[in-house]
Amino acid sequence: MIFIITGCLAFIFFYIFDLNKAKFRKKGLNLSFAAGIAFLSASTAGILLGDYEGFEPTITLKVLFGLLSVASLFMLLYSLFAALPFGETYREAERGNTVVDRGLYALCRHPGVIWFFFFYLFLWLACGKAIMMWAGIVWTIMDIIYVYVEDRWFFPSAINGYEQYKSKVPFLIPNPASIKKCFTFKQGDLR
């Protein structure tokens, strides 16, 4: 249970990061995003390494779901760190970032939540620990609340053109038009 709680603390650091981008603009507070990732990673590792009740998946299922979990983690990291301009997003404290509305960010406004959910779903199915299932559920709910707050209050004041982006791209659930736009490559698109 302690690892679920420490994983929830990660979201406090994520809120501090966003509040800093929207209001304070102090370069040192940008490290709060990394601190949140560290809390979530340590909590996940603590659960994986701990002795908890659950079911024992076969080796085949461990490998299959383990690979799907790694693929989901890769897509989550890609969504957060490669599909967005890294410096503007995570290092700079100034206001005035511009919207990214192509690639995964044409699919939905918060594609990382999708990959976050699948990462923990597949991780639970790979390890079989009931606490991993509960952690994944709690942390995904925390992530949805977090991106809702970002979408409603932080991003409109911190990202130029965000209100217009909101009117064109779905919040979390892709639709046929956003799926088509996600996979449409235009000359000059880098992401």
Q: What would the 3-class secondary structure string for 49-116 be?
A: HCCCCECCCCHHHHHHHHHHHHHHHHHHHHHHHHCCCHHHHHHCCCCCEECCCCCHHHHCCCHHHHHH
Judged against a pLDDT cut of 90, whether residue 142 lies above it is answered with yes
Does 124 map to a domain? yes
**Residue 122 pLDDT grade (very low, low, confident, very high; cuts 50, 70, 90):** very high
**Chain segment 14-56, per-residue pLDDT in tens:** 999 988 877 777 877 889 999 999 999 999 999 999 999 999 9
Does 114 map to a domain? yes
Distance of alpha carbon 23 from alpha carbon 3, whole angstroms: 31
Does 85 map to a domain? yes
In the chain, how many domains are there?
1
Residue range 94-120: average pLDDT?
Answer: 87
DSSP type of residue 22: I
Q: Which two tokens stand for residue 140?
A: 């995904």
By residue range, what is the domain housing residue 125?
54-182
Does 2 map to a domain? no
Q: What is the pLDDT of residue 184?
A: 83
Judged against a pLDDT cut of 80, whether residue 63 lies above it is answered with yes
Does 42 map to a domain? no
Does 128 map to a domain? yes
Does 12 map to a domain? no
**pTM assigned to the model:** 0.88
Judged against a pLDDT cut of 90, whether residue 102 lies above it is answered with no
Work out the widest C-alpha separation in the chain, in whole angstroms.
Answer: 52
Does 78 map to a domain? yes
